[in-house]
C-alpha cells in the first residue's frame, strides 16, 4: 500500500537505515509500486515512500525552484487546468511538462526567477 515511513533518530546510519528499509518493505507488496528514500545522516532523518509507478507522487521528493525545500507526500493532486501556466506567469520557473515540480510552487514558495 502506498505510504510514507521514516525515522528521526540519533542512531548511527548502520542501525537506522536497516530499520527504514524494513518499514519500507512492509509497504511495497505489489509489482506496480515503486519506492524511494531520502537520508540526511547529519540531521538524523531517514525517510522512505512507496507510490504507484507513473503516478503524480512518483517524482518524489519534489524540490522547490531553488532546491532548498523538499516535499514528500502521499496521494494525488488534480489541479484546475492552467495551474502551471498561471504559476509561470507569476514568475515561477519549472518545466510544466516534466514531473510535477510546479506543485511546490502552488502554496509554499515565492517565485525565484
Residue 37 cell numbers, joined: 528514500
Please write the tens of the pLDDT for every residue from 15-69: 999 999 999 999 998 999 999 999 999 999 999 999 988 887 787 887 777 778 7
**What Cα–Cα distance (Å) separates residue 55 from each residue in 34, 52, 59, 70?**
10, 6, 8, 18
| Type and span of the H or E element at 75 | none
Cis upstream peptide for 85 (omega within 30°): no
pLDDT averaged over every residue in the chain: 81
Q: Where would I find the H helices in the chain?
A: 13-27, 83-89, 103-107
Amino acid at each position: 500500500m502506498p505510504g510514507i515511513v521514516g525515522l528521526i533518530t540519533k542512531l548511527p546510519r548502520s542501525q537506522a537505515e536497516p530499520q527504514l528499509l524494513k518499514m519500507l518493505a512492509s509497504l511495497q507488496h505489489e509489482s506496480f509500486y515503486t519506492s524511494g528514500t531520502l537520508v540526511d545522516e547529519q540531521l538524523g532523518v531517514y525517510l522512505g515512500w512507496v507510490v504507484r509507478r507513473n503516478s503524480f507522487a512518483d517524482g518524489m521528493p519534489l524540490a522547490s525552484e531553488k532546491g532548498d525545500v523538499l516535499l514528500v507526500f502521499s496521494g494525488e493532486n488534480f489541479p484546475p487546468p492552467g495551474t502551471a501556466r498561471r504559476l509561470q506567469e507569476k514568475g515561477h520557473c519549472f518545466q510544466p511538462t516534466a514531473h510535477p515540480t510546479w506543485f511546490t510552487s502552488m502554496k509554499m514558495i515565492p517565485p525565484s526567477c
